[in-house]
Amino acid sequence: MDRFFESIQSHPGVMPTVYTVGPNLFFVGLLWLVIQLAVQRRIEVWRPVLVVLGTAAMAASLDLMPLGALLFCAALSPLGRNATLLPLSR
């Protein structure tokens, strides 16, 4: 498994893409979507602030990852409340 892992990481561009650019784009995209919901007044304005605080906590230290996850849960918790189930088509 170690040889397989090293063979994948030896390709140019894998390290920055997987470990730097990809995660950063995830956090930017998450923040962008939550801001769009706040602009449309579908969620409260303070919820994007929780996403920023959660991202900052995770970036500060891996020991703060549970705190960041709790902040993300608090920010995203109302999104599933008003979800409607679509009927299954047969």
Chain-centroid distance of CA 12 in Å reads: 26
Q: What whole-number distance in Å separates Cα of residue 79 and Cα of residue 47?
A: 11
Neighbours of 69 (CB within 10 A): 13
Q: Which of 2, 3, 22 is nearest to 14 (CA)?
A: 22
Tell me the pTM.
0.75
Neighbours of 27 (CB within 10 A): 16
Q: Tens digits of per-residue pLDDT, 10-56?
A: 888 888 888 889 889 999 999 999 999 999 988 899 999 999 999 99
Answer yes or no: are the C-beta atoms of 51 and 30 closer than 8 Å. Answer: yes
Question: What's the average model confidence in pLDDT over 1-9?
Answer: 83
